[in-house]
Chain A
Amino acid sequence: MKGMVITLKHLFEKKITRQYPEYKRPLPERSRGLLTVDMDRCISCLQCMRVCPDHCISIEMEKRDVDGSGKARPYSVGFMIDDSRCLYCGMCVEVCPVNCIYHTEEYEVQAYDRLELARQFGERPVDPTVDPKPAIKKKKKVAKKAPETVDQRAETVQRAVTERD
């Protein structure tokens, strides 16, 4: 019975729903929304491409003389961020040395085709269907040796003991 009185009281309280399209609440400053790149500052170090866990950043790099100083520098001629893969983990933002890639407060992303979600920031569009190979060089060992587990250690010890005897 007490429960019914409680729900009746709730009936007359103020609603806590926020009506979404009319009211958008102010996001805190650390919110991680869509990513965006300030291409003027990008030095094409490829760190974000390497660190992204999902390989959603694809960069085509060329050496080009952009600021007229006569020296050819790495320049991102194609920069693509694939929103259909992005985890919003923020690792690329942390790793960028010149703070050119950062989170905005946007979060409304819709498209009818998944490929439309790939946003291009550079001059030359990068193909979103090609998975950029991770820039990490995995050391190709012949056979990946696992460290010894307890049983294997026991076996080696046993073998050593029998050999000795």
Chain B
Amino acid sequence: MFDQLSDRLQSTLSEVRSRGKLSESDVDAAMREIRLALLEADVNFKVVKSFTRTLKERCLGAEVMDSLDPGQQVVKIVNEELAELMGGTGEELAMAASGPTVILMSGLQGSGKTTACAKLAQYFRKQNKDVALAACDVYRPAAVEQLVTMGGRAGAHVYEQGTEADPVDIASWALDRAREERRDVLIIDTAGRLHIDQELMAELAKIRKKTDPDDVLLVVDAMTGQDAVGVAESFAEAAEFDGVVMTKLDGDARGGAALSVKAVTGKPILFASTGEKIEDFDRFHPDRMAQRILGMGDVLSLIEKAETQVDEKSAEELQEKLKKDQFTLEDFLTQMKQVRKMGPLSGILGMLPGMGAMKQLKNANIDERELDRTEAIILSMTPAERADPHIIKGSRRKRIANGSGTKVQQVNALVKQFDQMRVMMRSMANGKMPSPEQMMAMQGGGAPRPKIRRR
């Protein structure tokens, strides 16, 4: 996500980074590039203006100009300002001290409210909370049916009264019922409405007043253009929303809406919806997203993702093995299977530092079948071969190739790669994990970019 913005900012910054000394005109040139990159990414025009102004002031300040490494300082400032623009470090949803936590969802038509409701329900269900959904979209044909189906999939109770009742009444009835049935969370789905439709905005304000929600969330399509700001301002007025859910982040949207909404309304982006499946929904971390846009990777999110898929014990065992250099192809196979459980590789790679800069990887629709082949090769080895791939010579090689339906060269390549990987992993296991900044420095400064090894 945000690839194009990320590309442009990275290339501008690598130019700046390569300079030992910065003049005011260097900074000006960089600011022009950044301004254009942000506009092309749909960041609101006014936000861009004030953002580049702040940026320029800081870049021309003493902390940069007097530093030994001004280019690096500029990168640091852009990173900080981007994170600030999107909301600093992540903020939390307010939860009710007692009784059900009430969350009211609002937004334009087609921004993805109903889907976001179900995904949010699923998010709470994973925390073992008892969730109810209130179907207050009585206008769009079949909206209630959609919520019933999707809510059911998420394991939530759906409170609905068809399409004849008044949305305000449905909401307050649902709240009473959620209290009675002692649900932990009540999520209220509302109809999509235009921010300039006074009648419907008044209805939203009424629902808000009647149910006194702990959180009001605005659902915003990540592909929204310049108008995102106007929409957010109107909803802030009528619904006083507390936070934003960004949807359709799995497209190639450049994220301008994400950058602008916080800047204008001061309300943070709390959640990101990133796919067709009900699980494709997570907390939004502005600081991490800023690093990702700058190609610094998002190692924290990757680790969190891994934590949910990999159990602690086997991870520790693995660490031990790596330290002692006992990592075998058998372990590699297990690892690969676990990583693949985390989702398609292209998504995971986007979180790694520096990966954004690697064109081959980014444009490659990573061929998951290639991984199937790798699995097949390992599965065609005997336990002894998996434990010590060095014994794989002539006839063994041929047998493995035949067994896995591959070629001898492919078997060779795998064994060689495995060797290289083992060296790298050993140093990482011994605590030499490169920091994102180090990885950035490694790529920049005119140094050759790391070559990607092709499988």
Are A and B part of the same complex? Answer: no
Residues of B within 8 A of A (CB): none
